[in-house]
Chains A and B, each alone.
Chain A
Amino acid sequence: MPILEIDHLQKAYGDTHILHDINIAIEPGDFLVLVGPSGCGKSTLLNCIAGLEPITGGTIRIADRDVTGVSPKDRDIAMVFQSYALYPTMSVAKNITFGMQVRGVDKATQERKLAEVARQLQIEQLLNRKPGQLSGGQRQRVAMGRALVRDPALFLFDEPLSNLDAKLRVSMRTEIKKLHQDLNASIVYVTHDQIEAMTLATKIVVMKGGVIQQIGTPAEIYNKPANMFVADFMGSPAMNLIPARVRAEGGQTRIEIDRPGDAPLVITDPVARDLPAEIVLGVRPEDIHEATGNAHLPGTAQGAGGDVLIEIVEPAGADTFAVTHLGGKPVTARLRAESAVQARKPFPLAFDLSKVSYFSPKDGQRLN
């Protein structure tokens, strides 16, 4: 039984369509992340799930109950907001218990649940403070406490970490993940940060322009992006998208890539593929390796690469990034830190063809 089921959801303001035919279902315990660039409709979708925005068409079911026209308070949800939205005149304790107080929960239960949540989030010593006296991270905890104490069917998080500094964001991210594991809670989480999406989610929805681009596990989204937008959006540095030409040759696929100042680079995919003459080759930086003579790296076939002119070398501690130019686009390879690669010199690189994606240059859709 899905805990959340969105069926053919539409959202429009007058003639402006914000969300187009959204279909999503998640199981209890799932951590669903809605990710996309700003203006893609992910926050609007979350507000629709919460009932804070009316929808134009379709249905929303939470815990097997149709909540399409139900007000937010009766949807059995709790929400954490981007600005935390703590009530400024109330103490931390009051902030956390306000929902229970409104719902007429008795004092003893309120006290017990408050103590429970305060211990869980380690904010016991802050209970008598006002939100104005808290740091960003502490406010974040209180906002989560306000949601946790309700024990709802579904948690909604609207970019909860975007107001924190980089270091705190990473540690809070880990805490949210831990919380999810401990409580086995069902969560819908909105972010524009693809790393947050990858690290937290059990299921990712990538959105653009109010349309779902792909739904899948983090691994599916990362390894088999459904189109060039997803390929480009997920992953850092982004996937290399290289325009190329294709020739079928005796049960193999020959791929030609323009190389500045040299003959085109020809690589051979040993698998016969049904590809159009013009394609875009998608390859992640970590799937471009140093070609080391005869010793083939796993997955690399002979003739899957060649010498290319390296333009820039960026050592990043654990890895070294080498940037070259192929098919008229900058291409980044993630190499070992101790690699001998040098700028303005040719260097042998090989593509791991078992992991590449082929896209149609016309509509950007995945071909393999």
Chain B
Amino acid sequence: MLKILKYSFYDLSRSRWSYVYFFFYLLLGVVLLFLNNDLSNAVITLMNVIIILVPLIGTIFGVMYFYNSREFTELLLAQPVRRSSIFLGQYLGVAISLSASLILGLGLPFIIYGLFQSGAIWDFASLLISGVFLTFIFTAIAFNIALSNENKIKGFGLAILVWLFLAVVYDGLFLLSLVYFQDYPLDKFSLVASMLNPIDLSRILILLKLDISALLGYTGAVFKQFFGTGLGAFTSVFVLILWVVFPVWRIKRIASKKDF
């Protein structure tokens, strides 16, 4: 698998898109620091961008890479290589290179600005960790979709729809249900509902880390009570790991049954 990972990585390192992605984050980091003139504020602004954009890029990049490397995949399938290593190697190649672009692109300007001397380092670290989790989750989802759909257009469409649902529609439905059932106690419901969506979960984790949960009102207090504890933090990281493990397991399963 390491050899496949090496070649996927090598392939991606020569792709224009990896650099576009890297320079985009570099630019974003520099501009935000310049405009905010403050590390903590820049982290908050960044969060809003990352939460939406990282899943989108992971999804599109994952689907695109899978369809584009079909020839490479077919070549490898006839070689003495385990099937699961081919697909997991390619998946890890995409996910790691996207994560590297994110970490380096954002990390460099923040380090130059003096991240290590400031108290915002842990906030920034939690931002990057959530970003890496989201990259791994959405790349895996993208691979799942691409593996199950021969038709590229259908695959792309589906991938965008999944992103749209988790990033935008889910929150809308969540909010609507809160308004509709406002006469009932909703703290348990909202806890569970936000656990089920990796984007929401990451957002809450960062917000709580930034200690601005007061902005969230009563629900914020409930969230703080749960997520702020060791058990809450453990549970949410566990759920994020599940969000990675389940799609990856499914990649392995579909790949072992697929005809090429």
Q: Do A and B come from one complex?
A: no
